[in-house]
Amino acid sequence: MKEMELRRDNYCFVCGKENPKGMHLSFHRENGKVKARFSLEKYYQGYDNVIHGGIISLILDEAMAYLQNYEERFLTGKITVKFYNPLLAGQEVIVTAEVKEEKKKIKITKAEMIRVADGKKIAEAEAIMFVKRETK
């Protein structure tokens, strides 16, 4: 079986600008970290007005994957998410991610989501990311 090429097409559900049903989050790099500031609409809820934990996990995973550079592709091998406080629809948060440890073919990454209004941690995640290097 031929190895699948991992292409970027601007249609990612979390950050893709061309996905009409996507979240359209904008990540930027700052001091070796990736950051995004945003709030989520009610249609991402689980319980009434409480953002679904799967959506929070998705965003943490995306932030860690966004640490890749243009010669790499990250594939999540294992992710562990810890939840601390609920995130309500419309609350502004900041998600940050960083590489904790680098090995030859994997990177250990960490991300956290903090509520802007009071600084409370919503959730944090750690992942083992498999690194696929692009060959030309």
Say what the pTM is.
Answer: 0.90
pLDDT in tens, 7-65: 667 777 787 787 888 888 899 999 989 999 999 999 999 999 999 999 999 999 999 99
Cα 24 from chain centroid?
12
Specify whether the CB–CB gap between 6 and 132 falls below 8 A. Answer: yes
DSSP H helices, 1-136, are 53-65
Query: How many CB atoms are closer than 10 A to CB 48?
Result: 8
Which of 62, 63, 24 shows the shortest CA–CA distance to 41?
24
Specify whether the CB–CB gap between 60 and 38 falls below 8 A. Answer: no
